[in-house]
Chains A and B, each alone.
Chain A
Amino acid sequence: MTVTAQITKPVPVPGTETSVPGPAPSRLRALLPGPAAGANGAAMYRRWWLPWLWTAPAIVCAVVFGVFPFLNTVLLSFTDAKPLGGAASFVGIDNYTRMLDDSDFWLATRNSILYAVVVVPLMVLLPLMLAVLVEKNLPGIGFFRSAFYTPVLASSVVVGLSWQWLLADDGLVNTWLEKAHLIRSAIPFLSDSWLILLSAMGLTLWKGLGWYMVFYLAALGNVPKELHEAAQMDGAGAVRRFWHITIPGVRQAMMLVGTLTGIGSLRVFTEIYMLGSSTGGPGGADRTLPFYIRDVGLDPITGNAGYGSAVSVALFALTLGLTLLAQRLTKEDES
């Protein structure tokens, strides 16, 4: 059985009087600068520069804090600039060729991709399930919503310390498992490089669940209850309704969560630092790309901002690639 939703609402048309809620048109015009009401007032809305005026602050911010630093990073990636400034020489594509031969770079890339591959699907699905669980207005449900959201409010450092305590050889998790006779010796969560990486992923998931749960709660509110009721009357069970009504209803939110989580996963640093210390795990085996950028590019004494920038550009390309892939998949799914 397939149930599809067709939601139709009146579409407001900007600039038309009937679409503007609130004060009467004449009073609204009185509040705005420019010519008096009438034909000239309507023309004011069509002035070419008005949209630019409203968006100017955002554009300026994006250029100053986003576009310019990005272009500067690209430019630096072709130099041997140092973090502390001073004369920088143009080195062509040397930084990029060095990157290709750098085993530490590839290790960091592998870790970053692995992080995204594991975290993104789980971060898309688990908060949705959580949101479905706490969506219903039951007595005391507010407590659970708050409890799930609490990790979002805690600082990453505090969360990291708590996880260190939980995952230590004599920490809560190992102690419980030993008491339950499930293990004989402690699981090396904090000394095995693979387990450190997995633990860091768990930390990211735990900290992000509540945040994305709120996204989904908002999205679930837009899924018409009538569809669920109709499907239920037709004999659809909870799982079927989840697949055929809930998931299509929140697909856009899922794509958004997937994209944001993908970008976040590729930029992960704090979790690795908290669980793997300054080396990024024993032997530096858990270093992700941002961790590696810090090591090679940002060290004030031995850093090479040029090489660090080249790795940053590679990280950007990776992020862009994954985002475009996600967009393409979404489009195919929609078509």
Chain B
Amino acid sequence: MRAKRLTGSLACLVVLTLTAAGCGLSGGGSGDGDATAGGCKVDEGNVGSGKLTGDVKGTITFQTTNLKKDFGDFFNGVIADFEKAHAGTKVKWIDDPGDNTFTSRTVADAQACTLADVINVNAPTATALTKAGYLLDVGTKDPDASKPFVSSFWKSATFKNADGKAIHTTLPWYTGGVVLTYNKDLLAKAGIDPAKPPTSIFGLFADYEKVAKAGDGKFYATMANPVWRIPADFDQMGIKVLSSDGKSAVFGDDPRTTQWVEWMAKLYKAGAMPKDSLSSSNDPSTLYSQGKVAYGSTNPSFVRFVKQNSPSVYDKTAVGQQPYDALGVASAGAPQYISVAATSKNAPTALSFAEFLTNAENQTAWCKDPAVVIFPTTTESLSDPFFQNVTGSDPFSQARKLVADQLKTASTNQTNLSPAVQNAIVAQVQLAMQGKKSAADAVKDAQEKANELLKQAG
């Protein structure tokens, strides 16, 4: 009987141990070699201040995010061209599904020292990997790396290392562009002239208020969840979100932040946004396509989505300039990036392939693919007639022309907030929108919560 109880208790302990292990965390390893990147032992040439030298040969891995299905032929062609130009090289292409666990999984790969040699990353992932030292400083390792790119995009490819120093650990790749998309009919019902888009965020909010009055619950201006607007609106308005070293939140020090939250609360209460979208992960795509939301997503590919999925709404769709606000120029947001792992065993080959992939020729070729609505980040590509001589007056053509015109001078200023900090700020704004706390208190609490997280990050 005693033995039976013991066995039962042990089995119970094992089950619980497995349960706890499921929620466990790892602290990462540490290397003991002379040259390390993150916690991994690496070739000395991959770190430090010298230019990267070495033969372009050997096998490397190249990781994209959910591109194989639609663009397999294109990338296989790029890989074949590279291998042909550099005899003795082999590029193994892997394609990550790119879900919301991408950053976590990529971080896990980095900790295990198995990061792909060349990897497509977004800004949050690049921020995390740069801080931990897992990415090659391409700006140092190839001083000419910046040459092909539009200067603002090259500037956006800067991330802070563990010491808080900004370094170029990524090469700009493609960008989606930013445009204002709207339903002309719904704007007309609200008495808004579609030909005169607002020039400031608060001007746009004023239009939202008009839509709320006209819609009266039948249609809305936009979606409520502030996650779609933070930190983009703050960046657009010139509100500084983080301190220069990125170690503390300062957005609450700007009185316009409180005004912004007051506007959001007012608009939510007035019915400018569906009530159930306050903490919903749905963007405006579905409701816009049903003609229930006046303002759509702010990227040209969304216009094509509407064209394909809701022709009747597409006929009522127009595009305009997203408010410049304090930026003074159009905003392009952060592009997608290509990075080279500092842990690469064939770093010269990996860097060479990364530069080959992002060169003007390959960027132009991919952006011309009819299956995609993206824009290049190299100066030469943007001068291509394909982007400069856009014909057609339909909304989709107009969106492409508008973005292509903007990109050479557009701002790519974007604050890289960690998902946890973004959620902490968004949560407080949601409470203000529900009327559970004042805008001033929400901003104060949001800044405190953000600072707690930034402080624990060190």
Contact = CB atoms under 8 A, between A and B. Distances in A.
B457 A85 contact: no
Interface string A206-234: 00000000000000000000000000000
Given A70-B21, A278-B281, A299-B419, A190 B276 contact: yes
A190 B104 contact: no
Interface stretch (B73-81, B84-92, B178-186, B424-432): B424-432
A280 B227 CA distance: 12
Max chain A C-beta neighbours (<10 A), residue from B25, B124, B125: B25
Nearest to A87: B30
A65 interface: yes
A66 B17 contact: yes
A76 interface: yes
A188 to B, nearest CB: 6
Given A70-B24, A85-B39, A190-B280, A304 B457 contact: yes
A169 B277 CA distance: 9
Contacts of A79: 27
Nearest to A297: B25
A267 B20 CA distance: 9
A293 interface: yes
Contacts of A186: 275-276
Contacts of B206: none
A263 to B, nearest CB: 5
A88 interface: yes
A315 B275 contact: no
Interface in A53-79: 62, 65-67, 69-70, 72-73, 76, 79
B18 interface: yes
Given A84-B107, A279-B423, A299-B453, A191 B25 contact: no
A74 B24 CA distance: 9
Interface in A290-312: 290, 293, 295-309, 312
A281 B125 CA distance: 25
B428 A283 contact: yes
A277 B227 contact: yes
Contacts of A117: none
Max chain B C-beta neighbours (<10 A), residue from A72, A80, A303: A303
B48 to A, nearest CB: 18
B110 interface: yes
A281 B26 CA distance: 27
B131 A84 contact: yes
Contacts, number: 209
Nearest to B224: A191
Interface in B19-39: 19-30, 38-39
A225 B23 CA distance: 44
Question: Chain A interface mostly helix, strand, loop or mixed?
Answer: helix
Given A86-B28, A277-B281, A300-B104, A283 B431 contact: yes
A159 interface: no
A302 B38 CA distance: 16
Contact of B23 (A84, A290, A320): A290
B7 to A, nearest CB: 12
B365 interface: no
A196 interface: yes
A164 B280 contact: yes
A298 B25 contact: yes
A257 to B, nearest CB: 14
Interface size class of A (residues with CB under 8 A): 35 or more
A313 B454 CA distance: 23
Max chain A C-beta neighbours (<10 A), residue from B27, B28, B281, B427: B27
Contacts of B454: 302
Contact of B28 (A82, A290, A309): A82
A282 interface: yes
A277 to B, nearest CB: 5
A303 B427 contact: no
Interface string B93-111: 0000000000110010011
A169 B453 contact: no
Contacts of B127: 301
Interface residues of B, number: 65
A190 to B, nearest CB: 4
Contact of A83 (B15, B17, B22, B107): B107
Given A66-B14, A302-B421, A284 B427 contact: yes
A312 B22 CA distance: 9
Given A72-B26, A283-B428, A295-B420, A196 B275 contact: no
B25 A188 contact: no
Contacts of B431: 282-283
B274 interface: yes
Contacts of A278: 227, 281, 419, 423, 426
A23 to B, nearest CB: 30
B98 to A, nearest CB: 15
Contact of B280 (A83, A277, A290): A277
B380 to A, nearest CB: 34
Interface string A179-214: 000000010111100001000000000000000000
Interface in A80-119: 80-88
A319 interface: yes
Contact of B434 (A280, A283, A315, A319): A283
Contact of B418 (A66, A196, A302): A302
Contacts of A303: 418, 420, 456-457
A154 B104 CA distance: 24
A168 interface: yes
A322 B279 CA distance: 31
Contacts of B26: 69, 72, 76, 83, 305
A26 interface: no
A323 interface: yes
A19 interface: no
B436 interface: yes
Contacts of B107: 83-84, 300
Nearest to B450: A302
A60 B387 CA distance: 60
Contact of A76 (B27, B134, B225, B227): B27
Q: Which 8 A-B pairs have the closest CB atoms?
A: A85-B28, A81-B27, A301-B418, A300-B128, A84-B132, A316-B20, A299-B420, A73-B24
8 contacts: A70-B24, A81-B27, A83-B26, A84-B28, A84-B131, A191-B278, A191-B434, A282-B433
Given A278-B227, A281-B279, 11 more contacts: A82-B132, A83-B107, A84-B129, A84-B134, A85-B132, A191-B279, A300-B124, A301-B127, A302-B418, A302-B454, A302-B457
Interface of B: 8, 12, 14-30, 38-39, 103-104, 107, 110-111, 124-125, 127-129, 131-132, 134, 162, 225, 227, 274-276, 278-282, 416, 418-421, 423-424, 426-428, 430-431, 433-434, 436, 453-454, 456-458
